[in-house]
A and B are shown apart, each in its own frame.
Chain A
Amino acid sequence: MEYTREIYWNVGHGAATLVPMYLLSLAAVAILVTVFLQRIKVYKQGQTLNRTDQLPLRVTAMIKNVLLQSKVLNVRGPGVAHALFFWGFFVLFLGTCLIVLQADFTDLFFGVKFLKGSFYLFFSLILDIAGLISIIMLIGLLVRRYIVRPAGLDNKIDDIIMHGLLLAILITGFVIEGARMAVTEMGTPLAAWSPVGLWVAKALSSMGEPAVRGLHSNLWWLHLLMVIIFIAIIPFTKLRHIFTTSANYLFTDLGPKGLLLTIDMEDEDAESFGAAKITDMTWKDIFDADACTSCKRCQDRCPAWVTDKPLSPMKLVQQLGDIAFNDPSASLLETIEKDVLWACTTCRACQEICPANIEHVNKIIEMRRNLVLMEGEFPGEEVMTAMENTEVNGNPFGLAFASRGDWAEGLPVVTLGQSSDVDILYFVGCYASFDKRNQAIAKAFIQLCDAAGVKVGILGKEEKCCGEPMRKMGNEYLYQMLVSEMIEQIKGYGITQIVTTCPHCFNTLNKDYRDLGLEVEVSHYTDYLAALLEQGQLKLTPQSFDCTYHDSCYLGRYNDIYQAPRALLAAAGANLTEMEKHGAESFCCSAGGGRILADEKIGSRISEKRAQMAAETGAPTLISNCPFCLTMFEDGIKGAELDEKLKPKDLAEILVERLAE
């Protein structure tokens, strides 16, 4: 006997089954398509944005992310449960497709059956296991959602419908299988290949065949109806993420990471800048709201949210969706509170973790641009003062521009105005130029370069702020004024390599400046020195010491530079104890997004929170790679009253102490 089974057993394969089944299915698909078409109209209220270039790359990324669940799996626990459920349900979906394919197509028209023999045995086993895993995972997720209830997980009606319906579909599936097996497969060797079905069959067998058959046909129709409902409600509920999240992998930002749209300042017709209404956002910004699954991973990692500030990246994205669908003429800045927008440090933790590839940060910047460029508003007067200071003196402190290069006096470094015969231009940045604490970084870097035989030049008083904090605060105008001056200076000296000690300068010169014409290679000093170390040009004498290391947002998440600084630390003799939040999961120091210019008035201090995390490692030294971070930690460690236990240092300060004689 060949292993197989009768499809449409007990319900019949005639018109009485097929016509209602196919009509219902068609209706469900029709609803699905119609509603999505309506939603597409809503997306199209947004500005155009090309996210279908480089299609092969995009399609590959989508398939990888959907099938491998790579981004979902970045968080263990619920991530694994979701992935296993997805794989189980996906296998069941494929199995169902094969059954329909054989019964209503190949067998019906050509008399070809493939669900037979040993293939059928494995088919049965795999589907049974898939169903079982799906049920277990779903129950696990239900327990997490309704019994464990992690903080911040909001349960909406969508969630109970989704979970309930899926669980009912899976359970009825097994009962239908069990009922069929109780009548047709009990005692056959085939039964063992459907272990869950067999278990159900054994439970049902005492009912007697007529009752089992009755149960079977009723449940079969119920199961079908639930599947139909499932399909039809996809676009109305969070279930839509099956399509929208998958599509968002296709529409993903291909980089460079975190690049902002450069506003055309020459455009004389432009009357409005930044986003005031949802129609000022791009279609992708609206679509992102539909791709959001409320998984709250962004919120959990948002330094603003976890220090009791009003910003939740998740809620912000969803609010934009609400506006687009329900009140598209609403003022974004009235609906979304300003304190929400100002709270962002642009640390990118939300975007990096988002399993739906949602782009949170640019939305915030677009709205900030409107506040700053159209309303002249800032989070506080101190920020406006910093902007004015930068306009006058090229640094947010308002210190005399002419003294910008004073720190370099007596060091082996030339000012390009005097000689441009140098290997690299060191773009010092405001903090390392003016702040005595941070000048130690600049001086250390010069000494390291000198020891490695690298000739360093600086712009001195011709250098101005790179414009990063201004740009991130939304002041695109001031940013572009600074950029055009800086690019002109840099180009004038025919420089071929720029090195920065500030990751903010690095990211800005290396990415943002490209839009406005800078072509020179730009490196952060950690990368640059790691290369010198590897080439043997830089020689260090390791001295053992204990430390923990803070991945700055703009070196880590924005530029994926995690290894170079650790290689330098290793060469210096560091016994590194990582903080729980490190690498791509690092926790912001609070200074990004122009927040370095602003007073942190709401909630607790982000820098203190990070200082505590560092102190928990027990290491006496907190090493960073960014003047902003160092500044924040100097204050944060004192604020958290940890100054007896923990000292902040920049990596360059550690390295310079270990220069080989």
Chain B
Amino acid sequence: MKILVCIKQVPDMESKFKVNAAGNWYEETDLAWRMNEYDEYAVEQAVQLKQQVGEADLTVLCIGSDRVKETMKKALAMGCDRGVHILDTESHLKDPYAIAFLIAGYAKDKGFDLIFTGMQSQDRGSAQVGVLIAEMLGIPSLTTLVEFSYADGAINAKRELEGGIKAKVSCATPALVTCQLGLNTPRYPTLPNIMKAKKKELISTPVADLNPEVSLLEVLQVAPPEKKGGGLILEGDPADLADQLIKILKEKTTALA
């Protein structure tokens, strides 16, 4: 069985974000980098599947600068067999379509039975890349999974819908699935596996070798959102306060919608 898991390196969401000089994305200094949380579930599910079927080859793919190799090593330590790094220092300028095109281009003649991706990335959050890859490869895709099982070429899974409801879905492989938080418990890599990961194959391919497509989206501006309440301190009579709070909740949040 051949399995592919696609991951992304993202800044930790706790970081202080500043807009970069070009005004099209964030400034990279002072950011802490980590594996996109959704992708951790994807890697874990892929590793569990590999362990379940026994004979399997699990490739982890990541697009980005050399910096992303650190994150790939974590995926290798979690149990992926080999790493495919598409070296692209400008990947942050590509839209989901262009990213999916690169991955589909890599995967199209490799005969993967299953492709795992995160449901979305924490920094872009567009939730498109997984489905786009599947569409480009002409295979079915199941999204937002919180339960996954595989047997005899068939996937049985549950999608998470709003309000905690789940939808039971299934399809045949080859297929692509996108993983929602809570799908499993991503493992903490063991020390022997961290050591082994250092020796696993991790090949970088320059992005230019993969005939990249142009993006369909153009970024006009990136800016921090206008302050919501901005550390507003309210004092006064409880009845007045309550009115003020309701007004704020209506204006600044979707809670009263």
Contacts and interface: CB of A to CB of B under 8 A. Distances in A.
Q: Is any CB of A less than 8 Å from a CB of B in the complex?
A: yes
A400 B12 contact: yes
A376 B192 contact: no
B32 interface: yes
Interface in A91-115: none
Q: Top 8 A-B pairs ranked by shortest CB distance?
A: A376-B188, A402-B30, A373-B191, A392-B34, A400-B14, A393-B32, A400-B15, A392-B32
Contact of B16 (A268, A372, A398, A403): A403
Contacts of A402: 15-16, 30-31
A376 B190 contact: yes
Contacts of A399: 14
B12 A271 contact: no
A400 B194 CA distance: 25
Given A376-B188, A384-B188, A393 B12 contact: yes
A101 to B, nearest CB: 60
B226 to A, nearest CB: 21
A526 to B, nearest CB: 33
B189 interface: yes
A381 B15 contact: no
Contacts of A477: 191, 194
Interface in A112-140: none
Nearest to B34: A392
5 contacts: A268-B195, A376-B188, A384-B188, A388-B34, A400-B30
A392 B16 contact: no
A612 B110 CA distance: 66
A387 interface: yes
Interface string B104-129: 00000000000000000000000000
A461 interface: yes
B33 interface: yes
Contact of A392 (B12, B30, B194): B12
B253 interface: no
Interface in B177-191: 185, 187-191
Given A393-B32, A401-B30, A402-B30, 4 more contacts: A374-B190, A381-B185, A392-B33, A476-B191
Interface in A401-449: 401-403
Interface string B1-35: 00000000000101110000000000000111110
A377 B189 CA distance: 10
Contacts of A387: 188
Main secondary structure of the interface of B (DSSP, over half): loop
Interface string A346-385: 0000000000000000000000000011111110010010
Given A393-B14, A400-B12, A373 B190 contact: yes
A628 interface: no
A273 interface: yes
Nearest to A477: B191
A225 B191 CA distance: 58
Given A400-B14, A402-B15, A403-B16, A461 B30 contact: yes
User: DSSP majority for the A interface?
Assistant: helix
B194 to A, nearest CB: 7
A137 to B, nearest CB: 52
Contacts of A375: 190
B188 A378 contact: yes
Given A400-B12, A400-B15, A403-B16, A271 B34 contact: no
B176 to A, nearest CB: 27
Contact of A271 (B30, B188, B189, B192): B192
Interface centre among A273, A373, A378, A400 (most CB of B within 10 A): A400
Interface string A231-261: 0000000000000000000000000000000
A145 B187 CA distance: 49
A488 B189 CA distance: 25
B243 to A, nearest CB: 30
Nearest to A399: B14
Contacts of B194: 477
Contact of B191 (A273, A378, A391): A273
Contacts of A393: 12, 14, 32
Given A271-B192, A392-B33, A402-B30, A376 B187 contact: yes
Given A398-B14, A402-B16, A374 B191 contact: yes
Interface in A429-486: 461, 476-477
Contacts of A372: 188
A393 B14 CA distance: 9
Given A393-B32, A461-B30, A477-B194, A376 B189 contact: yes
A169 B12 CA distance: 74
A372 B31 CA distance: 28
A384 B192 CA distance: 18
A398 B31 CA distance: 12
Contacts of B16: 400, 402-403
A373 B194 CA distance: 10
A374 B12 contact: no
A372 B190 CA distance: 7
A374 B196 CA distance: 13
A477 B197 CA distance: 14
Looking at B12, B14, B34, B190, which has the most chain A CB atoms within 10 Å of its CB? B14
Contacts of B15: 400, 402
A378 B188 CA distance: 9
Nearest to A381: B185
A373 B188 CA distance: 9
B253 to A, nearest CB: 24
Contacts of A398: 12, 14
